[in-house]
Amino acid sequence: MRQFYLTASILSAALLAACSGGETTAPTPEAPKVEAPVAITLADAIAHPRRADDMARDKFRNPQATLEFFDVQPDQRVAEIWPGWYTQILAPYLSAGGGQYIAVIYPDGASERADKRNASFREKFGDESEYGAIEYGAFGKDAGPILPAESVDTILSFRNVHNWMGGGYADQAFADFYAALKPGGTLGIVEHRLPETALQDPKGGSGYVQESYMKALAADAGFEFVESSEVNANPLDTADHPMGVWTLPPRSATPKEGSAEAEDFNAEAYKNIGESDRATLKFRKPL
């Protein structure tokens, strides 16, 4: 009888092993659920309390209309040259929409001032829960490619062209942007606008640049001009101030005491003009 029970037990074990393929496995634990980021609108990003200190300038910089004009989409890879004010809008907007914000900062070691600005930017925007994981590139005179070739959908620059002119590398700037953009990609430029009737300083010393000059720089690099917008225009700005564009807010520079410019200088009148008249230009890299 004992032999019968032993044989039955062996047979039962064999049958179970056969049904399970000869192996017994523990139940597979469920993978932890990763919540996808919640998409937000551009208006949501602009209205967020994190921008409380910046909102006073929205009436001059018109961020929603400007970014819509440049056709910035939440799932794009968007690079901003020498970023700052727009980062609080673009970084969370793109992170939540499945895109990528890329901060193209100064090359490390370019100067003590540039290094301080880079460090300040990284410290301010290093919170991934707030701004997403920011990618970085670098742009400056003779700094090499700013990003891998044909790796971004849109490049944006706000009030920088005069700096490149002053440094003697405006041609290089537009060529670098062209190389980094995907075919069909957009270059969006906002810059203090010099009237076409005025004399253009090739060094951009006043901070103002003619639209025709910027269009020529872009065309020489291979870009097609798409269109311009008056969204950032300010008809009160005559672009002929004693300290150039820096006479106006937000800098509101004043002349040296005792100088000829100081005699009839009316600081309040310049504050009442507001921020500068600006050209808003859209270019495209051909397909």
Ordered structural domains, the chain, with CATH: 38-236+277-284 (3.40.50.150)
Residue 212 tokens, joined: 């025709």
- Contact assessment for residue 150 and residue 120, using Cβ atoms and an 8 Å cutoff: no
Which pLDDT score is estimated for 260? 87
Closest CA to 161 of 199, 122, 201: 201
Residue 39: the pLDDT is 85
pLDDT by position in tens, the chain (length 287):
444 343 444 434 443 344 444 444 556 666 655 455 688 999 999 999 999 999 999 999 999 999 999 999 999 999 999 999 999 999 999 999 999 999 999 999 999 999 999 999 999 999 999 999 999 999 999 999 999 999 999 999 999 999 999 999 999 999 999 999 999 999 999 999 999 999 999 999 999 999 999 999 999 999 999 999 999 999 999 999 999 999 999 999 999 998 988 989 999 999 999 999 999 999 999 99
- The torsion angles phi and psi of 191, rounded to 5 degrees, stand at -150, 150
pLDDT at 231: 98
Q: How far apart are CA 193 and CA 263, in angstroms?
A: 27
Quick one: pLDDT at residue 25?
53
The answer, yes or no, to whether the previous bond of 250 is cis (omega within 30 of 0) is yes
Q: Helices 211-221 and 170-180 sit at what angle, rounded to 10 degrees?
A: 50
d(CA 109, CA 143): 11
CA distance readout (Å), 276 to 187, 249, 279? 21, 8, 10
User: In which element (H, E) is residue 162 found?
Assistant: helix 161-167
Q: What is the pLDDT of residue 74?
A: 98
* Three-state DSSP state, 165: helix
The C-alpha atoms of residue 105 and residue 136 are separated, in whole angstroms, by 7
Q: CA–CA separation, 42 vs 89, rounded Å?
A: 8
DSSP class of 245: G
Q: Identify the pLDDT of residue 180.
A: 98
Distance CA 263, CA 185 (A): 50
